[in-house]
Structure 1
Amino acid sequence: MSWLVPFAEVGARPVLVCLPQAGSGCGVFSSWQDSLDDVTVVGVALPGREHRFLDLMPATFADVVAEIVAALVATVPAGRSMVLFGHSFGGLLGYEVARALPHTHTPDALVVAASRPPHLSGRAAGSMGDGDGAEVFANLLSAKELDDDLRELVLEILEQDAELSGTYTDPGGAPVPCPLHAWGGESDELVTAAHLAGWASYAGASFHTRRFPGGHDFCLALPAEVRALFSPSRQGV
């Protein structure tokens, strides 16, 4: 199954690549396409959810990154204006994808939303992969209206993503080749302002932080803010 789900034809438009949070699928970004009619929104489809329910997750975080990079290179034309947007766990994936993409596909920007920096990820205390961290993230489900079957399914996916997160190794401050934007929710108890500031050491070209009203899922209603990050000089290449 494909690792990418374009919500419109790529054509000659800029591309917004959306990487979902742990336990979620890229379908949460499908409505963004209606708000961004001059951009193609492309969701990253991780195994074990949505149309990839029966697909197995690769063994390591690095394997997943390699699959996503290969799919993007095959789908997005070289030189095309592209922004990577990662939510929570997806932000960490986005960081590694930005570093691994060839120079022909260097993003205009990387947004890490509600995401802890690499040195606090993997098996670091409080992260998803430290053994107990998944329980903290699972508590987010208590505030959502889910029936028992769906809640159990999401928990299974969370556990799978936690295992994958545990295979991640911090590259020691390796910078991304594009502007880095760390966004957070003002009432997010999982990812604080200090966590956002921690991304500064992974920035190359420039670093920006911004906080919005809301909690850990604040970013699911921000397509207009993301649209402003595309480089006009590279659109329609």
Structure 2
Amino acid sequence: MGRWLSTWPSGPDDAALPALLCLPPAGAGCQQFRAWTPALAGVGQVYGAQLPGRENRWREPMPRTFGEAVEAIADELRPVVAGGRPLVVFGHSFGGLLGYEVARRVRPAALVVSACRAPGHWDGAGRGIVEDDDELDKLFDTAGLDPAFLDEDTRALMVAMLRKDAVLSLSYTHSPATALSVPVHAWRAAGDDTVSEEDLAGWAAVTTAAFRVHRVQGGHHAVLRRPQALLEHLTVLLRHAAAAQAEAT
């Protein structure tokens, strides 16, 4: 793959399956989605979007703006879905915002977001991470990580990645002029203090198609920690996308 997309084929026929693009939360890389490949084998091919500054792109500079990152991901994604290959986009937290903007450029069969504020609710989000160490400690706690038990180098690495993405998010401005025309599914976990019910409900305004809310228990990262329900949901969406393509051809 290119610099911005990674994939982990599970079989020789993967290229004939629908594509699932997965975008990770702030401060994280896409390798975590490799573990989803067995669960989706024969249903869809998993792709991960990889921003610079982490994992295999650690030494690369961050894009100057949020829009630059979105355009780079979309540019690499277009050949993947050339010829009408079905696409489902999934993003978690900051990755959900990226996924939304990618979906505006490369039309998927569905957009799925989790633990993510609606685009119109992102103004100023991330400023606390950039400016306030207490806010960073709160974020570590949300992720189930106690900074006191992280060695200095590991914490510094995580802080650097989080702050890079937070800075990127501050360059985002929502332009609601063109709504999506595909279904949007928004997941939220009870106990997530970073995404309110109002933040969640705002997703209804971004599409002229169906909007569905899905709820689980846990906290901000519950959907990623226990992804079984989400994977079952993605399986259904990928199968529906494949069936719709078959009918169209």
Does 2:237 match 1:229? yes
2:237 match: secondary structure:
coil
Letter in 2 for 1:228: V
- Which residue is 1:136 aligned to? 135
Q: How does 1:201-220 map to 2 (within 5 A)?
A: 201-220=205-224
SS at match of 1:30: helix
Task: Tell me the TM-score normalized by structure 2.
Answer: 0.85
Q: Is the 8 A contact 1:61 1:165 kept in 2?
A: yes
What amino acid is the match of 2:9? Answer: A
Of the three residues 91, 97, 110, the one matched with 1:92 is 97
Partner of 2:195: 191
User: Structure 2: how far apart are the matches of 1:35 and 1:227?
Assistant: 9
Match of residue 167, structure 1, among 167, 171, 183: 171
Q: Which residue of 2 aligns with 1:27?
A: 31
Q: CA RMSD in A?
A: 2.2
Q: Deviations over 1:96-145 (max 9, x none)?
A: 100012xxxx211001110011121142xxx1146558863652323226
2:15 aligned counterpart, secondary structure: coil
In 2: Cα distance, 1:134 partner to 1:205 partner? 41
Q: Structure 1 residues 173, 195: CA separation in 2 closer, same or farther (over 3 Å shift)?
A: farther
Q: Counterparts of 1:98 and 1:227 in 2: how far apart (Å)?
A: 19
Q: CA deviation at 1:60?
A: 0.5
Contact 1:129 1:164 in 2 (8 A): no
Residue of structure 2 in register with 1:63 after alignment? 68
Question: Are the structure 2 counterparts of residues 203 and 129 from structure 1 closer, same or farther at C-alpha, using a change threshold of 3 Å?
Answer: farther
Instruction: Please say if residues 136 and 159 of structure 2, whose CA atoms lie closer than 8 Å, have aligned partners that are also in contact.
Output: no
2-side partners of 1:133 and 1:168: how far apart?
20
Tell me the CA shift for residue 77 of structure 1.
2.9
Task: Note the C-alpha offset of 1:43.
Answer: 0.4
Identity, in percent, stands at 39
SS in 1 for 2:61: coil
Larger radius of gyration: 2
Q: Deviations over 1:1-22 (max 9, x none)?
A: 6100011164101111000000
Mean alpha-carbon deviation: is it higher for 4-13 or for 200-209? 4-13
Q: Aligned equivalents of 2:186 and 2:64: distance in 1?
A: 28
The one-letter code of the counterpart of 2:174 is D
Contact 2:22 2:46 in 1 (8 A): yes
Distance (Å, rounded) in 2 between the aligned partners of 1:135 and 1:168: 24
Per the TM alignment, residue 26 of structure 1 is displaced from its structure 2 partner at its CA by 0.6
Shift of 1:91: 0.4
- Indicate how the Cα distance of structure 1 residues 218 and 100 shifts in structure 2: closer, same or farther if over 3 A, else same: same
Quote the Cα distance in structure 2 between the aligned partners of 1:197 and 1:68: 27
Unaligned runs of 5+ in 2: none
2:114 is aligned with 1:113 = yes
Structure 2: distance between partners of 1:28 and 1:16:
14
CA distance in 2, matches of 1:235, 1:154: 44
Q: How big is each residue's C-alpha offset from its partner over 1:30-86, in whole Å with a ceiling of 9 and x where there is no partner? A: 110011112111000110000000111110111001000000012333311110000
Where 1:110 maps in the other structure, the secondary structure is: strand
Aligned residues: 230
TM-score of the two chains, using structure 1 as the length reference = 0.89
Quick one: which amino acid aligns to residue 161 of structure 1? D
Q: Distance in 2 between matches of 1:121 and 1:20?
A: 17
In the alignment, structure 1 segments of 5+ residues that lack a partner are none
Give, as a single letter, the amino acid of the residue that structure 2 aligns with 1:33: T
